[in-house]
């Protein structure tokens, strides 16, 4: 089928806009910078190829489809089914929301309550985390697990402790910690890998439920203008790898998903990783089991540290008010070296969750050890890359390490980062503008459900460095601001680059996939403060309309 989209302001490159595009099947076949497209509309004598559909854009702006370079679609799907605890201002409000949800949705809660979104920094007393005594006020009959917004701290009620069989004498979990109260008994707070044990006490969704939830969430992404996601689900939300891969393959083979999906996969066992490379999913992928460009198998994902808000980001010099606290090292540098060596042998990309400067430094050491011919040919990436000094920024750019950034994190982090790491280090952190100007490949994502999948607040934050309320005046370390072209390119061509797809998507070029969005307002002309409120009128993937605003 051939479609003509005309009378638009179609973004091609910086300062370069077209008036119309012709789509043939799932690709862009022609780009019109003049009015010659009118010959296709008025083609009564069939001297020019027949057009099946003409769409008048009425002067609207068209962008390449936005590509979230790092998120968690299945965890986002779970969050959309759970009690909303985001933005609670006190432990009492947290309790009240859960009690109301339990009362209003007894069927959903019969096997337990699991939600993510609380943040103690919004509480009147940010030094106190929710514990079992608080959550027991919701219920002691069902397990209750409430995650901090970052996912690196979890609070539970006594029922969870009972199910886990934890006592004062229980050994700690590998790579994590269940905390104890003044009586030396577990107090219902979990850190690091211990969070997974607490979460496992909530009975899992059925595969049919997960299928429905995932499709629903991918449709939500399309409604936000996202046409591709690079999603870390297997090995995190989905601990059963074979079932997860099978489910997602089946969804895509039956063409039930509206947008493109690329796997980012975690392993907690290097022998299991080796097995997947030599016998299972990665071996099958190389053998052609994935035949569609709608679904692809991507990199190994490793976690080096926790989060800044949880004070578990790995810091070289510790935290400003607590220099003895260096955060949590989820995987040691020696262990990460082993994974990177194995990945290099199989020519597989590696990405690493790194927030603190200590985590970033260790990841760079590992990546550089796995370079091919001294270069980052496998496009290894640092994910988040928040706390950096000038030397780390230079090293990332110099060695062509890719960055998967979340500018939207600053909406909250700008309130705490100077108190945690000091003004000097804060001034060189979240240095996404500097990294771009030094030539690094910086792509944007949301890390949803940590932030919403909606890309426009993320673009707004990158451009203004102001929170959603427009503060601070002038922006937070405004030298790191980017312009609207750079921000869009980070969400399109750079996100395509980190998945080795820069020759097929991320631009509105002839021969590229017809993934695009039509905006209700002109993002290049409106007040930057308004960018966060933008939304698409239409989203198209492979020439097919997958969302249209009603």
Q: Are residues 192 and 234 in the same domain?
A: no
**CA-to-CA distance for 475 and 410, rounded, in angstroms?**
11
- Residue 130 domain boundaries: 74-199
User: Are both 268 and 292 inside the same structural domain?
Assistant: yes
> Among 13, 32, 59, where does a domain finish?
59
Answer yes or no: do 449 and 477 share one domain: yes
Going from the C-alpha of 485 to that of each of 306, 406, 441, 460, 488, the distances in angstroms are 32, 17, 15, 12, 5
Residue 67 lies in a domain: no
Residue 169, strand partner residues: none
169 belongs to a structural domain? yes
259 with 153, same domain: the answer is no
The answer to the question of residue 518 being in a domain is yes
Q: Does residue 243 share a domain with residue 182?
A: no
- The partner residues of 147 in beta bridges, in order of sequence, read 116, 154
| Total domains in the fold of the chain | 3
Residue 134 inside a domain? The answer is: yes
CA atoms within 13 A of residue 70's CA, in its CB half-sphere:
29
Provide the pLDDT for residue 285. 81
Which of 199, 217, 238 is at the close of a domain?
199
Query: 267 and 159, same structural domain?
Result: no
pLDDT at 47: 59
Shared domain for 116 and 174, answered yes or no, is: yes
Which residue is associated with the tokens 């939207």?
408
Q: Are residues 100 and 44 in the same domain?
A: no
Closest CA to 9 of 65, 62, 54: 62
One domain, residues 127 and 244: no
pLDDT computed for residue 151 by the predictor:
86
110 within a domain of the structure (yes/no): yes
Residue 145, C-beta contacts closer than 8 angstroms, at least 6 positions apart: 112, 113, 114, 115, 154, 155, 156, 160, 198, 199, 201, 202
d(CA 384, CA 364): 14
Phi first, then psi, for residue 472 (nearest 5°) are -80, 160
User: β-strand 544-548 against 113-118: which pairing, if any?
Assistant: unpaired
Euclidean distance between the first and final Cα of the chain, in Å? 24
Residue 343 belongs to some domain of the structure:
yes
Q: How many CB atoms lie within 10 A of CB 230?
A: 27
- CATH number for the domain that contains residue 110: 3.10.310.70
Could you tell me if 161 and 22 lie in one domain?
A: no
- Asked whether residue 284 falls in the same domain as residue 160, the answer is no
H helix intervals, 346-466? 357-369, 390-398, 410-413, 417-421, 423-426, 432-437, 456-464
- Boundary of a domain, candidates 166, 199, 232: 199
CATH number for position 322: 3.20.20.140
Distance CA 162, CA 152 (A): 21
Average pLDDT of adjacent 10-residue blocks, the chain of 550 residues: 96 98 97 92 68 95 98 94 92 97 94 94 90 98 95 95 97 94 97 92 92 97 98 90 94 96 95 94 80 91 94 96 95 97 97 98 98 97 98 98 98 96 98 98 97 97 97 97 98 98 98 98 98 98 97
Is the distance from CB of 511 to CB of 28 less than 8 angstroms? yes
Compute the distance between CA of residue 539 and CA of residue 341 in angstroms, rounded to an integer.
40
DSSP E strand stretches across 210-343: 226-231, 260-266, 295-303
Whether 329 and 357 have beta carbons less than 8 Å apart is answered as no
Tokens representing 427 are: 């001034």
Residues 6+ apart with CB under 8 A from 45: none
Q: What are phi and psi of 234, to 5 degrees?
A: -70, 125
Please say whether the beta carbons of 488 and 11 come within 8 A. Answer: yes
Q: Any idea how long the chain is?
A: 550
Q: Would residue 321 count as lying in a domain?
A: yes
Categorise residue 175: left if φ over 0, alpha if ψ from -120 to 50, beta otherwise: left
Residue 213 and residue 193 share a domain: no
Residue 78 lies in a domain: yes
Cα separation, 100 vs 79, in Å, equals 17
């Amino acid at each position: 089928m051939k479609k003509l989209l005309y009378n638009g302001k179609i973004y091609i490159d910086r300062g370069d806009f077209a008036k119309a595009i012709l789509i043939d099947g799932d690709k862009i076949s022609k780009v019109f910078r003049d009015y010659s497209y009118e010959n296709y509309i008025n083609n009564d004598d069939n001297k020019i190829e027949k057009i099946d559909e003409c769409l008048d854009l009425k002067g609207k702006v068209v962008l390449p489809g936005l590509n979230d370079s790092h998120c968690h679609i299945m965890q986002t799907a779970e969050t959309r089914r759970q009690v909303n605890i985001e933005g609670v201002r006190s432990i009492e409000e947290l309790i009240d929301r859960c009690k109301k949800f339990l009362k209003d949705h007894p069927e959903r809660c019969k096997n337990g309550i699991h939600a993510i979104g609380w943040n103690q920094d919004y509480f009147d007393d940010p030094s106190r985390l929710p514990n079992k005594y608080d959550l027991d006020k919701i219920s002691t009959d069902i397990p209750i697990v409430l995650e901090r917004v970052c996912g690196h701290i979890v609070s539970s009620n006594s029922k969870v402790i009972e199910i886990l069989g934890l006592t004062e004498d229980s050994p700690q979990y590998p790579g994590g910690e269940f905390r104890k109260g003044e009586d030396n008994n577990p107090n219902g707070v979990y850190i690091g890998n211990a969070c997974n044990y607490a979460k496992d006490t909530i009975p899992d969704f059925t595969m049919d439920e997960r299928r429905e939830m995932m499709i629903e969430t991918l449709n939500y992404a399309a409604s936000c203008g996202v046409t591709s996601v690079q999603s870390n689900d297997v090995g995190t939300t989905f601990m059963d790898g074979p079932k997860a891969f099978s489910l997602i393959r089946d969804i895509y083979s039956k063409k039930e998903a509206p947008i493109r999906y690329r796997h980012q996969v975690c392993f907690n066992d290097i022998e299991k990783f080796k097995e997947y490379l030599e016998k299972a999913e990665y071996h099958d992928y190389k053998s052609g089991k994935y035949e569609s460009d709608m679904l692809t198998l991507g990199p190994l994902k490793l976690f080096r540290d926790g989060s800044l808000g949880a004070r578990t980001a790995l810091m070289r010099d510790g935290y400003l008010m607590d220099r003895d606290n260096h955060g949590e090292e989820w995987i040691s540098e020696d262990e990460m070296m082993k994974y990177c060596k194995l990945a290099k042998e199989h020519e597989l990309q590696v990405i690493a969750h790194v927030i603190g400067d200590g985590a970033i430094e260790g990841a760079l050491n590992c990546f550089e050890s796995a370079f091919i011919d001294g270069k980052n040919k496998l496009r290894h990436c640092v994910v988040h890359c928040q706390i950096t000094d000038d030397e780390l920024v230079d090293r990332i750019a110099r060695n062509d390490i890719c960055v998967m950034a979340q500018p939207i994190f600053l909406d909250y982090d700008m309130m705490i980062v100077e108190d945690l790491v000091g003004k000097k280090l804060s001034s060189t952190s979240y240095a996404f503008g500097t990294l771009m100007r030094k030539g690094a490949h910086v792509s944007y994502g949301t890390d949803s459900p940590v932030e919403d999948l909606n890309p426009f607040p993320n673009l707004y934050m990158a451009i203004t460095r102001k929170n959603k309320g427009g503060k601070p005046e002038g922006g937070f370390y405004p030298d790191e601001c980017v312009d609207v072209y750079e921000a869009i390119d980070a969400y399109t061509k750079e996100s395509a680059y980190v998945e080795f797809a820069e020759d097929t998507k991320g631009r509105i070029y002839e021969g590229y996939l017809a993934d695009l969005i039509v905006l209700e307002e002109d993002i290049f002309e409106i007040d930057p403060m308004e960018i966060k409120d933008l939304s698409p009128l239409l989203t198209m993937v492979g020439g097919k309309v997958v969302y249209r605003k009603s």
